[in-house]
Structure 1
Amino acid sequence: MSGAVAPLIACRGLTRRFGEGARATEVLHGIDLDIAAGEFVAIVGQSGSGKSTLMNILGLLDRPTDGRYVFAGREMATLSTDARAALRRDAFGFVFQRYHLLPGLTALQNVELPALYAGVAAAERTERAHALLARLGLTGLAQRRPAELSGGQQQRVSIARALMNGGSVILADEPTGALDSATGAAVMDLLAEVAAEGRTVILITHDRTIAERADRTIRIADGMIVAAGTAAAPRPVPPPKRGSRRPGRVAVEIARSARRALAQNRVRTALTLVGIVIGGASVIAMLAIGEGTRHSVMAQASATGTDWIVVMPDGDNPGQPGGRMTLADAEALAALPNVRHANPGRWSPVTLTSPAATVRSEAFATSALYPETFRWETEYGAFFTAADDRAAAPVAVLGATVAEALYPGPADPVGTDILLNNIPFTVIGVLEAKGPDERGMDRDDRVVIPFLTGATRLSGDTDLGGIQVTVADTSRMAETKALVEETLLARHRMRDFFINDMAQRIASLAATQSSLSLLLALIAAISLVVGGIGVMNVMLMSVTERTREIGIRMAVGASRTDILGQFLSEAVLISGVGGAVGLALGLAIGIGAALLLGVTVIFEVSAVALALAVATGMGLVFGFMPARRAARLDPVRALAAE
């Protein structure tokens, strides 16, 4: 009739089958059921009758195979998974036989859980939870964990949680089944009190004595309703106490929940961190050492300037005509435009003997332009002159390493006589120390002599090992290089030489060092990836171990997005903390290498930030699959997990 009040819950032809094909089992067979708002209803049946399956469908934890379920005028079949979670959060409250409290949370935190997913502010939900606990006689027990509470106290915490968001419909599945008779009676008194306030209470039980406390008893047997009783008159329903669900606020609370979850498994969390820590430290240390090495190499290569071109004979055919470089070639190149000078040179292995020692080294026969060309001055004494070169004077300038070997201690070698391949030479100077070159070769292990002296006294010919052409204007380097090539081709009538300019050499070195640095970083990144895989494995294990927890969170209103966020937050938190610890360790390794090994180390802010971001991102990448698996769990099956 027109004035009739529509039932709060209306079910028509509900069926529920499990399995498929020949193995399919139908638990519910065409259930028709109406429950008015404000009713206190008991659904009674033996174990296996289908009453718990019906409760799961009514509470939106499960879906019927066929039939219609309408709640408050809304067709439930059309709701998305997250919309069903929102309705569980705001309209339904569950009281389970096994309590289903999260063991890692306090009584207060368990009660707050539905309001957390509803987006209620922390202060408001804490105040509301304290009030509910006090109302249920649990004052002073708010900070105890479930293991520290009796069965009756845990069930009262469960009831408080069911009422947290207002819970216009309370679904109680065998709420007294695990309690003694006195405690069970107290719980039933609480449910009756809740029903008297106008809430709809649906009690699932096999105990007819308990069912008599309800206004109406519905009997179910073999998946069918065999007696529905007479519906009570509708009662006014108090509006649910909902919070404005703010995604940002919920996300913050989920992150806090993730931190608590990790804190409960400190040892496993610490072991999981190890892989990320090692990977992060390796990446940061390798990048710093690689960048430091690159910087050192480039500094050494640039120390001699970038304004010169090296011309060398082609070593593949030294015996053929033209396969040699001569002083005449050097003079021809020195006359070219934009050429400041062309410095000839030739290397020869020598044995040097002083009164104190004999050493093997190399003699570089060159011109008096050596200091200007190579930007290499003497630390003691002086360099030989052009007159010394023209006169083939037997004078020598020692490299720092050779001087130290021939004259150990504080002795001044300038003015002393030595033998080069048993030929007497006078030491007139010692070059300033330069250290190793970009290839690690000791540049100070040399002796420099006038070119003609080397040609007449050591080698016996004037062939050159190379010519170093210094240009006046580096902006015309390419033009000068082409002119040098053209001149030599005209003189030799064949390409029996090769040319390389210092700028090109430095660019090549830079590319090589960058590639090596990248290779080091990639090698180090492998350990970071291995650490990320470790995070994924641990998170998969965590999902398996915490399946029932996931089901509880879903039952109190957590959406798939909330569950996804929970486990992603845990993975990102692990990798983020691991990355931060790895950053500190990587900095320590780099500083230690610099102090103890003398390695040049350069920490670039961008590289450090990138390494930390990548380490944290590993949690996001490798944590997604476990988080997605957790979010896609079926609430009913998750709740049944051990």
Structure 2
Amino acid sequence: MQLKGIIREFPAGEQTIRILHDIDLTIYQGEMVAIIGQSGSGKSTLMNILGCLDKATAGDYLIFGKSVKQLDADELAKLRREHFGFIFQRYHLLGDIDARDNVAVPAVYAGMDNKVRAQRAEQLLTDLGLGDKVHNRPSQLSGGQQQRVSVARALMNGGDVILADEPTGALDSKSGKDVLQILNNLNKQGHTVIMVTHDPSIAEQAERVIELKDGRIIADYRNDNFRAEESTETSASKETTQADSPSPSRTLHHKQKSRLGSLIDRLSEAFRMSVLAMRAHKMRTLLTMLGIIIGIASVVSVVGLGQGSQQQILSNISSLGTNTITVIDGYPYGDPRRRYNDDNLTPDDAKAVADQPYVVSVSPQLDASASVRYRNVQESSSISGVGSDYLEVTGEKLAMGQGFDEQSISLRMQDVIIDDNAKTTFFPELENPIGEVLLIGNVPGRVIGVLEPNDNGFGRSSDSPTIYMPYTTMMSRIVGGDTIDRFVVLIDNQISTSAAESAISELIEGRHGADDFRTRNSDSIRQTIESTTNTMTLLISSIAIISLVVGGIGVMNIMLVSVTERTNEIGVRMAVGARQSDIMQQFLIEAVLVCILGGGLGILLAFMIGEGINSLGSDSFSVIYSPTSIIAAFICSTLIGIIFGFLPARNAAKLNPVEALSRD
């Protein structure tokens, strides 16, 4: 390891402070070096540059003759991962995982097989006297034990070069001696050991001492007593310290995972750490999810309400008949001929249309008003002449009795069907008015059927009584003419109503020699209502999506706070070899998890809202859940996690390892 003219400066307002001044230094493989100096002398800065945690402002640093100046962040991470092991004064262990997992972290980023790394981590801890503390968390270990875990972590990937920053600074004297003995033993096994200290007595135990003052090397000498002290060590002491030493093998021969396997392993680690972080801050996680929950629940509920309302409206339209075309007598609106001649449509036109192969059935119709009387009850009512196929064409249902047949039409029978309003008006006391006789103007009519109530706002009036009779009877007995007002055509479901409408128009125009009629396609009404309800649903959903965006901003803010809180953890992971992509994955996965979990809870809340509305039993609308909206909500929540989690994750990945490690 060779430093050539290394200068390190740090900004301080508008000025810069130079910490290291033209450092020239060579450290050889297998040395045990102590860098000594008072606080502020630059020794920790020098160690950070040696360990590739920091970059020099000027000068060059070579490892085995290769300059690290041009290496990017991930290449530096590879150097740290494969060659360096760090032992920190404050241990820098991850508090949410146990000792074994702390030791194994570097191997995760190195792609070591799961079982192999677990076995090696346990072996290293056992060799360091912590075999019974494998599953203890850092908070359950003493300072000396935590430092031993830190040593084991440094050795996990081999640790050719051990960098120890004040390794005994936070320990009692006995624990400090134990750690120094461990470092000495590691050096005997071939590890290059570089330790930073301000204590001369600790420096004396190193083979070589480099003294810094005000950022300059003022002394670089070898400790003449280093090997002499080693030779006078008693055999009993050797046996004692050997039990505290890790396995003598530095070179690791473990099976590396494939690139895909290594990626999956790192993603699994990131996922696990994300879950642990969420569990450690349950309330904050819940509050973060709240915006997503409300947004997703709003979108799914609104779409469900829109679907339910649309289905209800379309069901109401179906009471007019499905796939129906109404041909209406009279010139189109705005045509000046309209005022002179409106009696152009005849029953023969209806019969001609009924003979077409795409037509299922046809019902001629004409309307009038008349005074209807039953005993002492008299009321002005709507009279409608209809054909035998009226019920089939319009979708009306009989509550009791029967409808008209062909004989009723051909014989001009004086039978009538009444709606629910007429039954209530004329027969309030009768449960079954079938067979009763109404006087319609001066024409008696026998009741043969009663229609079911129709309160949907479509079709017949919901206010005045309506009496139905054969259109032939009405033409001859009531209105005294030979034309009809309209006829309703039921089209085969396999046929396009637009094409059928054009064909019917051509047929009638050919018969009349003029376009003295109008058509109304029920399918166009359906399409208009579908378009209108879809537009309203989209509008309201757009408003609901705003809450999702607000929730996403909340996720971003909380994740930025999380990055700030866990800066030290990020620094530790970078020090042991995590790539920038590994750090980004961890925080991005956490953001996505928060949003997916929030999305799931939001969908659950939407179901609860929908069930609550449906349980009210409202006939006007109900909630119909749309699988598309649920899938879209899930995708949306995931995208929010990715979009709004990217900035915090990127900020975390771009952190400087040294700055990250220095924060609590």
TM-score range, shorter chain: 0.7 to 0.9
Identity over aligned pairs, percent? 38
Structure 2 unaligned blocks of 5 or more: 228-247
Counterpart residue identity of residue 403, structure 1 = K
Q: Structure 1 residues 435 and 47 mapped into 2: Cα distance closer, same or farther (>3 Å)? A: same
Give the superposed CA RMSD: 4.1
The corresponding residue for 1:548 is 568
* Residue of 582, 588, 591 corresponding to 1:571: 591
Distance 1:588 1:39 in 2: 69
Match status 1:636 vs 2:653: no
**Structure 2 equivalent of residue 52 of structure 1:** 44
Cα 1:101/1:375, change in 2 over 3 Å: closer
Matched, 1:532 2:576: no
Verify the 8 A CA contact 2:397 2:451 in the aligned structure 1.
Answer: yes
**2:491 counterpart of 1:468:** no
Alignment match of 1:265 (pick from 281, 288, 296): 281
Give distance in 1, aligned partners of 2:18 and 2:441.
Answer: 105
In structure 1, give the amino acid aligned to 2:634: L
The whole-number CA distance in structure 1 between the counterparts of 2:94 and 2:378 is 82
Closer/same/farther in 2, CA of residues 391 and 561 from structure 1, 3 Å limit: same
1:251-330 matches, cutoff 5 A: 251-302=267-318, 304-311=321-328, 322-323=338-339, 326-330=342-346
The one-letter code of the counterpart of 2:124 is L
Deviation of residue 291 (structure 1)?
A: 3.4
Q: Distance in 1 between matches of 2:15 and 2:201?
A: 36
Sort the Cα spacing of 1:193 and 1:117 in 2 relative to 1 into closer, same or farther, 3 A: same
Q: Normalized against structure 2, the TM-score is what?
A: 0.82
Q: Give 2:580's aligned residue.
A: 560
- The answer as to 2:211 corresponding to 1:195 is no
2:50 counterpart of 1:27: no
Moved more, 41-50 or 435-444: 435-444
**1:375-390 mapped onto 2 (5 Å cutoff):** 375-376=395-396, 378-383=398-403
1:106-185 alignment runs, 5 A limit: 106-185=98-177
- Could you tell me which residue of structure 2 aligns to residue 244 of structure 1? 256
Aligned partner letter, 1:248? I
CA distance, structure 2, for counterparts of residue 597 and residue 65 of structure 1: 74
**8 Å CA contact 1:91, 1:240 repeated in 2:** no
- Contact 1:113–1:161 (CA<8 Å) still a contact in 2? yes
Q: Deviations over 1:116-138 (max 9, x none)?
A: 22222222222222222222222
Task: Indicate the residue corresponding to 2:503 in structure 1.
Answer: 480
Cα distance change on mapping 1:540 and 1:438 into 2, 3 Å: farther
Mapped partners of 2:397, 2:446: distance in 1? 18
Note if contact 1:549-1:639 (Cα within 8 Å) is conserved in structure 2.
yes
In the superposition, relative to structure 1, how do residues 292 and 231 fare at CA in structure 2: closer, same or farther (>3 Å)? farther
Deviations 1:167-202 (A, max 9, x none): 111111111122222222222112112112111111
Q: Which amino acid is 2:655 matched to?
A: L
Contact kept? 1:49, 1:223, Cα under 8 Å: yes
Q: Which residue of 584, 588, 606 maps to 2:604?
A: 584
Q: Write the deviation string for residues 137-183 of structure 1: whole angstroms up to 9, x where unpaired.
A: 22322222222222222222211211111111111111112222222
Query: Residue 94 of structure 2 aligns with which residue?
Result: 102
Q: What corresponds to 2:431 in structure 1?
A: 411
2: CA distance between counterparts of 1:439 and 1:196? 99
Residue from 419, 422, 429 that aligns with 1:399: 419
Deviates more, 1:287-296 or 1:343-352: 343-352
Could you say if the C-alpha distance between residues 242 and 470 of structure 1 is closer, same or farther in structure 2, counting changes exceeding 3 Å? closer
Superposed, 1:512-523 pairs within 5 Å as: 512-523=532-543
User: After the TM superposition, which of the residue ranges 421-430 and 570-579 deviates more from structure 2?
Assistant: 421-430
Specify the code of the residue in structure 1 equivalent to 2:639: G
Partner SS for 1:78: coil
1:72 aligns with 2:94: no
- How do residues 207-218 of structure 1 correspond to structure 2 at under 5 angstroms? 207-218=199-210
Q: Normalising by structure 1, report the TM-score.
A: 0.84
Name the counterpart of 1:505: 525
- Deviation at residue 374 of structure 1 after TM alignment: 2.2
Deviates more, 1:123-132 or 1:344-353: 344-353
Asked if residue 63 in structure 1 is aligned to residue 34 in structure 2, the reply is: no
The amino acid across from 2:547 in the alignment is: S
Worse-matched range after superposition: 450-459 or 522-531: 450-459
Return 5+ residue gaps in structure 1 as ranges: 1-8
Alpha-carbon distance, 1:508 to partner: 3.5
Contact 1:56 1:636 (C-alpha < 8 Å) held by counterparts? yes
Q: How many residues align?
A: 629
> CA contact under 8 A between 1:357 and 1:406: conserved in structure 2?
yes
Aligned partners of 2:346 and 2:483 also within 8 Å:
no
| Alpha-carbon distance in 1 for matches of 2:298, 2:475 | 53
For the Cα contact (< 8 Å) 1:327–1:462, is it kept in 2?
no
Task: Say whether residues 1:222 and 2:211 are aligned partners.
Answer: no
Equivalents in 1 of 2:64, 2:381: separation in Å? 98
After superposing the two structures, state which structure 1 stretch, 299-308 or 267-276, moved more.
299-308
The letter for the 1-side match of 2:266 is V
Structure 1 pair 178/398, CA: closer, same or farther in 2 (3 Å)? same
**Inter-CA distance 171–421: structure 2 relative to 1 (3 Å threshold):** farther
1:414 positional shift:
1.7
Distance 1:108 1:360 in 2: 92
CA deviation after TM superposition for structure 1 residue 592, in Å: 4.4
Aligned to 1:41: 33
**Offset, 1:382:** 3.5
How far is the alpha carbon of 1:433 from its aligned partner? 5.4
Counterpart of 1:626? 648
The equivalent residue for 2:4 is: 12
Q: Distance in 1 between matches of 2:559 and 2:279?
A: 14
